[in-house]
Amino acid sequence: MLWALPLVAIPIIIHLLQRRRFRKVQFSAMEFLERALRRTRRRVLLEDMLLLMLRTLAVLLLILALARPSSEGLPLALGRDARAELIVLDASLSMDFRNDDQSTYERALAFAAQRLGELDTSLDDRAAILRAGLVTDRLASGDPLEVLAALRELERPDAVRGDLQGALVAASRTVTDLGLEAAQVRVTVLTDLQANLWNEESGISAPLEELVAMGCAIDVVNCGLEARDNVGVTSLSLSTARLVSGDSCEATAVLRNFSSLPADVQATLLVDDIPVSTRKFSLSAHEQYDWSVPLAPVEVGARAIEIRLEHDDLIVDDARSATLTVDDGFKVVLVGQEASPSETPGAFDALQSYLNIGERSPLRPTPIPVAQLSDSDLAEADLVILADPGPVPLRSVRSLGPFVARGGGLLIAVGPQTGQEDLAALFTELDGAGVSLGDPVQNLEEPARIGIELPQHPALRLFRDERWQPLLTEVPHYSFRPIVVDPQVEMPAQVALRFLDSDENLDSGAALVGWKSGFGDVALLAATPHDTWNRMQEVPGGTLPLIYDLLFSLAPQPGYSTSYEVGANFSVTLDFPPTDTELINPEGLRRTNVANTTSLAQGRHRLELSNAVPHPGIWHLNTHLLLPDGGEEALHLRLAVVPPAVESDLRAALPEELRTFLPVSLNLGRVDDLSATNVGTNDLPRDLMRTLLFLLLACLIGETLLATMLDRRRT
């Protein structure tokens, strides 16, 4: 519209033409009139000039208003260029912290709406939102009104550690996609500046430096409050993932006070939503407390274990779950040969008497001679015990290899009838090439004893208490075959027990060695109950829990984790192919046909439920397994999903620390400061059209009033 500037001369031309309209007429009193005009000429001239100026200015203001000038550069000559606002929104769990009836996330949304409200669609302004939550998602891009509408649909952050670094990397691509010069784009990062993320080691400065290099202005806005007191459950672990009904395990919850002040909290442990233990804690500043509770669930199936705290300002981390599989008993195949009445009882007889303790025995052995062991015997077995078997036929070796590989547990209890040559082929089949049996050792005069080398081994659960250790370690061993582990061979073998020499040194060979083979576990026990080798049967108080805990540790574990972190891959491993899968989230929403099945080695199958599980809590999985005989078996699982523990620490990074590794040109401030002063490294130009229209209206009103007054005076 600047081409219309010559039209400003119209009032002047009209004024000049108006003067030429008058015709001079002489009359008798002209001399007196001319004297009066000379006295008022200067005042009339000033009044006419003022009226002319108002009319000329009105035309000028109209033209400039239509040209839409900007407050930047030449405000009365040029309009501003289009600009863009890119919002990067931190949607991690810590942003859900509430205070003063408003969460950090809600403050961030309000500030984002304010920034988007500064844009003008008619000026071709553009906007975009990147949300760093469960996934990095570009919610909207383009028209500021559409972006603002997408922003208003957001409700809560995700219970996850958001990938803010990935969102900033995506921001550089979004700046290009907006189609404007990078210098006209302001990137506003809305976050709580959590110190666990905003540090030099996180690598978050690299994408910010790239945006600065592109020419973008960057505002990092701290939307969190200064006081962020929080108590959370950072861990809930179980001593075992699979348990036999009637047996016990231990649940350990880790409670932590992240505040700088003491805090009182009440914690409740629940099994299937039924409280089993409640306790109040007084935690000092930054204190961590481990709360252990024994559990002995009787009901068979997948049990949901959960701990809950009284809610504080961050609710999501006040609860944590785990799952425990409870069985009615493990199916055990006991391979060996029973001693005749004229023979001394051996390892087979001792183990059979240990395991047969009644109808409700957690381990139910089925005795089978080693020569008769077949695939059908192992099809439904959980555990196999080779009780001093002697030579193991090659056919049995070929059956035991796949059994262990697909998840079964194998205990090899060594006795006088079994030597290295009898087990060499089996060791090779079970990936135990670095393990061998030594020659028999006789200690008739000074019998050897056992020393504990790995106290945390699950088979030694009872003996972690020093009061009970003599029941195992003081038993004399007159004869034994030491186990040798070749250090030159790479294999994950763990030595839990060793034989002691006369000087009580752990150098007389291993007594208990374990390793993994495929999905299963193998244990080799040289300290086996045997009348002619030791006095273990005379002192069963130590041997019995050793055998039971060892077999429980070898039992096949569930094909899924006791807990999954939000955002992790959600999958379970099954022994048979699944069908008719149904998944129910913690809110009760049912989803069908949600899984993909992948075939694994050893005939197992992995059920892929989600690439990134979205919500914490207990999920329910219902499916049917297709059995080899053509039948189906219903399977009901409970899967625990937990929030990331690192998000419970709400401590904010200090500005002076951030300045040491963030770009210098970056503007760092709080929501209240930036909202009040509207400061930023990119001080965006303001459209002056409205101001010019108000001035135009003022000129027109002034001109009308002045013209009316002059007409009345001169009439």
> What's the CATH code of the domain at 577?
2.60.40.1220
Helix (H, G, I), strand (E, B) or coil at 102: strand
Counting the structural domains of the chain, the total is 5
Instruction: Say if residue 244 is exposed, middle or buried (CB neighbours under 10 Å; 0-12, 13-18, 19+).
Output: buried
Give the separation between CA 510 and CA 714, rounded to whole angstroms. 126
Helix (H, G, I), strand (E, B) or coil at 579: strand
> Does residue 581 lie within any of the structural domains?
yes
Residues 307 and 357 in one domain: no
Collect all residues with Cβ–Cβ distance below 8 Å to 393 and sequence separation of at least 6.
370, 371, 373
Paired with 188 in beta bridges are: 87, 219
Angular region, 700: left φ>0, alpha ψ -120 to 50, beta rest: alpha
Residues 99 and 69 in one domain: no
Collect all residues with Cβ–Cβ distance below 8 Å to 10 and sequence separation of at least 6.
59
Task: Write down the pLDDT at residue 280.
Answer: 95
Task: Write the CATH number for 270.
Answer: 2.60.40.10
Give residue 578's domain range: 564-642
Task: Write down the pLDDT at residue 28.
Answer: 57
> Does residue 674 lie within any of the structural domains?
no
Task: Write down the pLDDT at residue 677.
Answer: 44
Give the separation between CA 55 and CA 64, rounded to whole angstroms. 15
Residues 210 and 320 in one domain: no
Residues 366 and 498 in one domain: yes
Task: Write the CATH number for 95.
Answer: 3.40.50.410
Q: Compute and round to an integer the Cα radius of gyration of the chain.
A: 42
Give the separation between CA 412 and CA 523, rounded to whole angstroms. 6
Q: How far apart are the first and last CA of the chain?
A: 39
Helix (H, G, I), strand (E, B) or coil at 372: helix
> Does residue 249 lie within any of the structural domains?
yes
Residues 184 and 142 sit within 8 Å (Cβ to Cβ): no
Residues 519 and 573 in one domain: no
Alpha carbon separation from 291 to 294, 296, 312, 542 (Å, rounded): 10, 17, 19, 28
pLDDT along the chain (715 residues), means of 10: 69 65 60 63 74 81 74 46 90 91 92 91 89 91 92 92 92 88 88 92 92 92 89 93 85 94 94 94 94 91 93 92 90 91 88 81 87 87 94 93 91 93 93 90 86 92 89 90 88 89 74 92 93 83 88 88 90 88 90 79 83 92 86 91 94 91 90 58 54 82 81 72
Collect all residues with Cβ–Cβ distance below 8 Å to 470 and sequence separation of at least 6.
542
Residues 379 and 471 in one domain: yes
Task: Write down the pLDDT at residue 682.
Answer: 41
Give the separation between CA 481 and CA 508, rounded to whole angstroms. 10
Token couple for 79: 């309009």
Residues 593 and 527 in one domain: no
Task: Write down the pLDDT at residue 443.
Answer: 82
> Does residue 202 lie within any of the structural domains?
yes
Helix (H, G, I), strand (E, B) or coil at 294: strand
> Does residue 652 lie within any of the structural domains?
no
> Does residue 668 lie within any of the structural domains?
no
Residues 316 and 96 sit within 8 Å (Cβ to Cβ): yes
> Does residue 173 lie within any of the structural domains?
yes
